[in-house]
Each structure stands twice: as C-alpha cells, then as structure tokens.
Chains A and B, each alone.
Chain A
Amino acid sequence: EVQLLESGGGLVQPGGSLRLSCAASGFTFNNFAMHWVRQAPGRGLEWVSGITATTSTTQYADSVKGRFIISRDNSKNTLYLQMNTLRAEDTAVYYCAKLRALVYFDYWGQGTLVTVSS
C-alpha cells in the first residue's frame, strides 16, 4: 500500500524558513518523480514544485522560484521542501504527491499545514 506522510509544518514568522519532509513507502521510490502541491485555506490546488526520480532535475512554480528548494534522498525514501523567505501567501496545506507517467498525481499524502504569520 502506497503511503506518503508529510511532516515539518507549523507556524513561522514572515521571512522565516521551514523544511517539510515526506516519507514514502509501498512503492519503489527511486522510480518516480515526486511533487509538492499546496492548498491555501478555502482555496484551490496550486502546484508548487517537482523533482525527477534519479537525476533530481527540479521544477518550480513562478510563485516560489528562488525561495523554495525541492530535494530527495532515495536512500531514505524521503522527499523534502526547503522553504525560505516565507510570506503570508505561502500559508497553506502542503501535500506531497507521487507523479505517474510524468503526467498525473496518483497518490497524495494527508498534508501538513504551514502558517506564516507574525
């Protein structure tokens, strides 16, 4: 059974940093690209970032480019998102998601809430 478990969310002040983790199990982690998708309170889904399976090529939404860094440790089956220079508009539930066929997200974690506020 595929499981994705996010952690690391919490309350942080504007300008601060936070690192999210996503522990994966139930599939061969290093065979799949992984992504982060977020959802602000009461709002829709927004793609944030993705990373390929083995070459670790990264992609970012314009809204986070230069501030967030996605990475993975295939030896630990874990995905990360380093979030720097956080803004109030980064407040959201952050989901990690497994990418299938380079096209769609077939499994999602339960999400971790990040709140940016003073």
Chain B
Amino acid sequence: NFLLTQPHSVSASPGKTVTISCTRSSGSVGNNYVQWYQQRPGSVPTIVIYEDDRRPSGVPDRFSGSIDSSSNSASLTISGLKTEDEADYYCQSYDTSVWVFGGGTRLTVL
C-alpha cells in the first residue's frame, strides 16, 4: 500500500491564493485519480475535486486541482480565499482495492 502525505496546516489571508500538496509515497500519482474533500468543523466531508482536476457542480471555480508526475504529488489550489474556505482538506486516491486518504491539512483563513 501507499501513503498520501499532506502538510499539517496552511494559512493565508482573505483574497489570497493557497496551495495544498499531497505526495504519494509509492507508485505513480498519475496511475490513479486523486480527489480532494473539504470538511468544515462539525460537518461531513464533501468532495471539491475529483479525478485530479474536475469540479463537481456547485463547487466554485476558485477551487482547482492538478497533478505533478515529477514530484509524484497532487495539489489543491484555492484562489480568492474566503473565510468560509476555512476547513480541513483531505486528498484521496486508491490502488488495488485499497482507498487511501491523506492525513489532512487544516486551512486557516486569517
């Protein structure tokens, strides 16, 4: 199995742009789609990016996803930060009948 490693926390001011990374420990990040979930305090996780870079309907285009094969990582970028974006963000991928979540990143909008 593989691990997905995320920074424990990131912070930025309203209106700014922040990027959260998710590095896959083994196997190629490009071989299996990466998803991103947002979990606000006391709430259920909701998906904000699926299949590397696709946004579900209802998710603002301030949210974008990408993968980088050279660093074997995926990234979630949130632009034009709003206070409502303050939440925990989890990346997720899968391989050979195992679904894996990253440890989560706490985003603080100062």
Roughly how many angstroms separate A35 CA and B45 CA in the complex, as a whole number?
Answer: 14
| Complex contacts, B39 vs chain A, CB 8 Å | 45
Asked if residues A44 and B44 are in contact (CB atoms below 8 Å), the reply is no
Chain A, range 1-55, C-beta contacts under 8 Å to B: 35, 37, 44-47, 50
With contacts defined as CB atoms under 8 Å apart, how many contacts are there between chain A and chain B in the complex?
Answer: 57
Across the interface, name the chain A residue whose C-beta is closest to B103.
A44
Q: What is the interface residue range for chain B against chain A?
A: 20 to 34
Q: Is the interface of A mostly helix, strand, loop or mixed?
A: strand
Across the interface, name the chain B residue whose C-beta is closest to A110.
B44
Count A-side interface residues using an 8 Å CB cutoff.
Answer: 21
Q: CB within 8 A of B44: which of A47, A101, A111?
A: A111
| Complex contacts, A46 vs chain B, CB 8 Å | 101
Q: Are A103 and B104 also in contact (CB < 8 A) when A45-B45, A108-B44 are?
A: no
A–B complex contacts, Cβ < 8 Å, 15 sampled? A37-B101, A44-B101, A45-B45, A45-B90, A47-B100, A59-B99, A95-B44, A100-B50, A101-B51, A103-B50, A104-B51, A105-B37, A105-B45, A108-B44, A111-B44
